[in-house]
A and B are shown apart, each in its own frame.
Chain A
């Protein structure tokens, strides 16, 4: 009898343990609606790193009976161009569109406000800072997928070599430690290049919004702001000139690559991957690639640190760098099946899908997923795996800063970056180049009705 009871208790215990562990699994969402016969059209982002998301879609199709048709698979900038043309012509006949915090402000009149489709509970796990960036004029237009922000990446061998440290001490009178501000980066990068320790001191993307964003970040970290409260351009102030001069000096002295102005993210990452760069800001998203010894010589030879603070010309206003953005989904106002589209978004941004994607190295936008991956990483073989996540959580939580959320961000960038390129290449002085960019920007903003 007692034996029997014991067995029952044991079984119950086992069962409940099972139930608890099942409860502990990350859960899908958005599968609770029958969508049989409905075709959801989706304009999605393309890339091998999004395999998990593509695979997840078939789970959604099975569970809900819906068919998901991918009408476009493009990189982010190509989707932006597609959306503009489709919105302009009323051709946006899809239910879900990939979107980004840097782009969304341009198309708010053409997007469906999503706050009524999501309960407070459903939104609670998402980072408030990112939801803030997704809300324009009180309406929520984006459901974020994953965020990105850049820590300093540095080559460990340069900072662990005592001979180099001693030489640096002789040359500058200060200890060689991982830099925390732009001036230190400047001194160290130049030192490494001048003494042949590293082919390059620094790298940054040198065209399009990537360049505008990096400038914005350095300017911001130095206490500056691109626009004042009336949206008058202020990037041609002393801080802007100092940042632009820093970049031009780096280019002239070979601290950054000679083809900087044709580099986008992949080109920049390649230099670091080849072990050619001493220090740089780089997105967390590249981590798995850099750590793979088959693809990168730098694997195992780099460390991470929080974003730098800016140039001292900014005085007390300097703050850590943190240009950030989030990949997201939105629903076009012209979507034929908005509710079904919302269901797909709920599913793709659910804890389970977000967790599986985060395992690949993406930074989550949900607090519950953060908890999971940090717990997972606590017994990782490489301590950097855990340090990285802890650092990232601090940066996303405290330093997350999107560019101005105005529809004119990309047109502004298209005006701005060629001028900055001209400064970097030495075609014009920093002050003249920035003044010219400011004048053009002002005209564009005036046309758009800002003043």
Chain B
């Protein structure tokens, strides 16, 4: 019953998904995916189309008559954004933020997973501790870290004062100074990302065949060499799963930024998300905000697509 003919096209297909042979089943699979597809079209597709339309109008929330499409003005919002220095600045900030957060989260989680793989005392307690950040809603992460990094009453400064690292007058303005504001937000985001990434990499590390390591040890490989030439390459598929999950979830960081600095001060931490909210709701310029949303959607999709391709590649290697 299972279709197993090996036409070239099918081979290609097989390699692309590196999965078990798929079955030709006519209408059935469409019936299985259609509820999901229809729902997503309704809840995501339809509003997005609407906001695409709005992005070509000068719509302002409190001026109902301004929701009015004219070809002459259609591209005005996009033109405006391309000439908007703040837009470019927030785009740059967003890219820096994403690049640093994703890479550092990965490096830290990788290190942590190697550390945890060697622990012999209290493993299960440690793994539970590892999952603590998972229990926090992003908005709560933002509120807590804003409080911790408060210059006047925050725990971090008070700790530094009490151990004598800084003077009482020299409180560090964590959420203000360049680049501390950005760094503080990044710390909070990394903290939130660590558990899932570390769990995946830890499970990967533990699943690696021990014979390989024994052979390497006989050859006299150092700890670093073993990691560099055995563990790290073998972890690749796990790494890409971790990175894909993270890229799908990255927008959660918006809650953190909004709560911690809301893009300030002086737009030093302004990102696309905070700028959209300010434009679309506070300033009621919904058309302009929609245009920017669309640019953001476009970028997020590119970002996710990239990790996805890497994941598929890594699976083929396996």
Contact = CB atoms under 8 A, between A and B. Distances in A.
Contacts of B270: 418
A262 interface: yes
A418 B264 contact: yes
A109 interface: yes
Contact of B152 (A109, A267, A425): A267
Contact of A262 (B176, B267, B281): B176
B266 A270 contact: no
Nearest to A412: B283
Contacts of B61: 84-85, 87-88
Given A261-B264, A419-B266, 14 more contacts: A84-B61, A84-B62, A199-B169, A258-B151, A259-B175, A262-B173, A262-B261, A267-B150, A267-B152, A414-B283, A418-B266, A421-B265, A422-B267, A425-B268
A88 B173 contact: no
B51 interface: no
B278 interface: yes
A259 B157 CA distance: 12
Q: 8 nearest interchain CB pairs?
A: A261-B265, A259-B151, A421-B266, A88-B61, A422-B266, A258-B173, A259-B173, A421-B265
A342 B264 CA distance: 40
Contact of A425 (B62, B153, B262, B265): B265
Contacts of A106: 62, 284
Contacts of A254: 169
A425 B282 contact: no
B108 interface: no
B152 A414 contact: no
B152 A85 contact: no
Interface in A385-433: 407, 410-411, 414, 418-419, 421-422, 424-425, 427
B171 interface: yes
A414 B278 contact: yes
A411 B261 contact: no
Contacts of A267: 150, 152
Contacts of B283: 410-411, 414
Nearest to A419: B266
Given A84-B61, A84-B281, A110-B62, A258 B264 contact: no
Size class of the B contact interface (CB-based, 8 Å): 20 to 34
A87 B175 contact: no
A414 B280 CA distance: 12
Interface string B267-298: 11010000000100111111000000000000
22 contacts: A84-B61, A84-B281, A88-B284, A106-B62, A109-B62, A199-B169, A257-B171, A257-B173, A258-B172, A259-B152, A259-B173, A261-B264, A262-B261, A270-B153, A271-B152, A411-B282, A411-B284, A411-B285, A414-B283, A425-B265, A425-B268, A427-B266
Interface in A52-87: 81, 84-85, 87
Contacts of A110: 62
Contacts of A411: 282-285
B209 interface: no
B206 to A, nearest CB: 43
Given A81-B281, A257-B152, A258-B176, A87 B265 contact: no
Interface of A: 81, 84-85, 87-88, 106-107, 109-110, 199, 206-207, 254, 257-262, 267, 270-271, 274, 407, 410-411, 414, 418-419, 421-422, 424-425, 427
Nearest to A425: B266
Nearest to A420: B266
B282 A259 contact: no
B220 interface: no
Given A270-B152, A418-B266, A261 B176 contact: yes
Contacts of A419: 266
A427 B151 CA distance: 20
B205 to A, nearest CB: 41
Nearest to A413: B282
B64 interface: yes
B176 A425 contact: yes
Nearest to B261: A262
B171 A259 contact: yes
A323 to B, nearest CB: 20
A389 to B, nearest CB: 31
A407 B64 CA distance: 15
A260 B264 CA distance: 11
Contacts of B281: 81, 84-85
B64 A88 contact: yes
A407 B283 CA distance: 10
Contacts of A87: 61-62
Interface in B152-189: 152-153, 168-169, 171-177
A414 to B, nearest CB: 6
Contacts of B284: 84, 88, 106, 411
A422 B268 CA distance: 9
B265 A414 contact: no
Contacts of A270: 152-153
Nearest to B170: A258
B210 to A, nearest CB: 51
A155 to B, nearest CB: 17
A274 B171 CA distance: 15
Contacts of B152: 257, 259, 267, 270-271, 274
Interface string B221-263: 0000000000000000000000000000000000000000110
Contacts of B171: 257-259
Contacts of B151: 257-259, 262
A81 B282 contact: yes
A106 B62 CA distance: 8
B278 to A, nearest CB: 6
Contacts of A109: 62
